[in-house]
Each structure stands twice: as structure tokens, then as C-alpha cells.
Amino acid sequence: MISALNNDRICNPWYYWVLYTGFMFIVVGIIVLFRKIYLELQNIKIIIKIFKQQFSSTYRNNVQIKKQKHLTDLLNFIPLRSYKVYTIDQTTSLERLYMLIEKAGKTTKFSFSTYHDDESNKNYFVIDFIQPSSSIIINVEISKISHVLNDKLQELLSIIFYSSNTIYTWNYLSFPPVDFLIYDHIYSMNTDKINPKNFISLQHQFKHWYNRTFKHDENCQQIVDFVDSDGPLCSCPYRPCKFPTDTWSLSMAIMYTFHEHLQLNENPLEQCLAITKLAIIIEEGRNRQQIEALRSPSIHT
């Protein structure tokens, strides 16, 4: 009897050691298993990311190929309204600036863009005075001008930028825009007086308007509870953005909306006119039928 008790006392430590060791093996096994699952999930995420990048790259390449193929079939860009261009440089008369100052005082909405002329190696900014029936375009050369002209140009720009007017741009998501720094140095504009709320980044607004106006086709696999957002499952040929992070270029917006080709290399003023055209149709809330009517060749004859 005493011998049996002694044997139990001897065996008990081994029993607990075996139990502890087995438990630790199980814990380590679980940790290793979870680590393996974690690594596999990371690999899956990487594979999905690579797939999305490849899909996006392939899609963009296909879009670019189709775009080049059909550009010759598109109409050249046509402004929504008639316009007259005034170039402001060292040869501009004071009478012209007085006239533009008067026109600016009667205008509340403008479009703004910039460009660089490779031939002359000069920078310009363009402002469209958006009028009900026609527009006035000023094409301003960024260069040193006489003191008298500079004062009047300052007065003109102050009326446009310092008041509560609406300024449409394409993709200025921050303020002040980089382009302002160009002529801030030359014309000494006080950008502190410019209200950033007056500037509307049309690129962001256009994407939401386009998705609401040109909804997914009823057979599109991207449709989820009537959500019009972009997605990789979208098969709609008229919706080129396939991911929520995709952005519209101005040329692409004009091409898909109006079936027109924006030739910025040949006429850089078209950038500002294109911004105006999109701003008007968005502000007026034109629907799909109205936009498609604008595409009709009879409209442009």
C-alpha cells in the first residue's frame, strides 16, 4: 500500500509534465496555423492587388487603342455658345481694358485655365466670361507690361477673383492653385483676398454628374442596389472609369459626353471653353436625352 502511494507521487510530476508539454505543442501549433493563415491572406491580397493593376492597365490600354481608333470619327470640339477672344499683352490698349472691366463687373461666372505656348515659350492664362448668349475670352500673356496697363489689369483681375463670383476650373483640388503662383509674382495679386470657396473643381463634380446621368446598363454586373459608383465588374462601354479612384481627364469628359475631340495642341483656348460647356450642362441639370440630342450632327450644322 505504501509502495503504491510512493509510485503515484513519482508518476504525478511526469504526468503533469507530459500534459504541459502537450498543451504547449497545441498552443504553438495554433500560433503557427494562424501565422500561416495570415501569410496566405497577405498573399491573396497581393494577388488581388496585382490582378486589379493588370486588369486596370489592360483596360486602359484597350481604351487608349479604341480611343485612337475612333478619334478620326469624332466631331471636333464645338463650344456651347459663341465667343469672342481678346488677347492681353504689351500691345493692349487701355480702352480695351476699360471695356473688359465693365464686362467683368456684369459677369458672375467665369472659367479659368492656363497653358504654355511651345513656339513662343510663353505662359498664358485664359478666363471665360460666361454670358447667357455668348462668352468673352481673355487670353492673358504672362509677361512684364507697362505700369499703366498693369494697374488696369490688376483692377480687372480683382473684379473677377476678389468678389463672390464663381470660378470654374478642371482639377484644382487645393488652393491656391499652382498656376496662381505664376502670375502672382508678375502681377502682384494678393491671393489672400481670394476666397477658395469661389473655385469649383469641375473634375470632381463631373464624375458624380456623369454617373447619375449615364447609369449602368440593366445587364451590367456592377449594379448593386441602384448604386451608380464605378467598379471592375462594369461592362458599360460608355463608362470608361472602372474603379472608384479613376479620374476623368477633360478631353475624355468631352469625348464621352459629347462625342467630340478636344484638340488642345491646336487651340489651347478650347480647354477653357470645354470647362464652360461642362459647367453649363451640369448646372442646368441636363439629362441623358438632352445630352444625346446635343450629339446629333444636325445640331452642329
Give how far Cα 85 sits from Cα of 134, 138, 152, 239, 247, Å.
11, 6, 18, 34, 30
Total residues belonging to the chain: 301
Q: Is there a contact between 111 and 66 (Cβ–Cβ < 8 Å)?
A: no
The DSSP string of 251-279 is: HHHHHHHH-EE--TTT-TTHHHHHHHHHH
Element containing residue 227 per DSSP (H, E): none
Answer with the residue of higher pLDDT: 64 or 81: 81
Mean pLDDT for 168-190 is 60
Check pLDDT > 70 for residue 59.
no
pLDDT band per the 50, 70, 90 thresholds, residue 52: low
Angle at the Cα of 189 from the Cα atoms of 186 and 192, rounded to 5 degrees: 140
Q: Are strands 82-88 and 122-130 parallel, antiparallel or unpaired?
A: unpaired
Q: Is there a contact between 138 and 88 (Cβ–Cβ < 8 Å)?
A: yes
Q: Is there a contact between 129 and 279 (Cβ–Cβ < 8 Å)?
A: no
Check pLDDT > 70 for residue 16.
no
Q: Is there a contact between 170 and 203 (Cβ–Cβ < 8 Å)?
A: yes
Answer with the residue of higher pLDDT: 299 or 263: 263
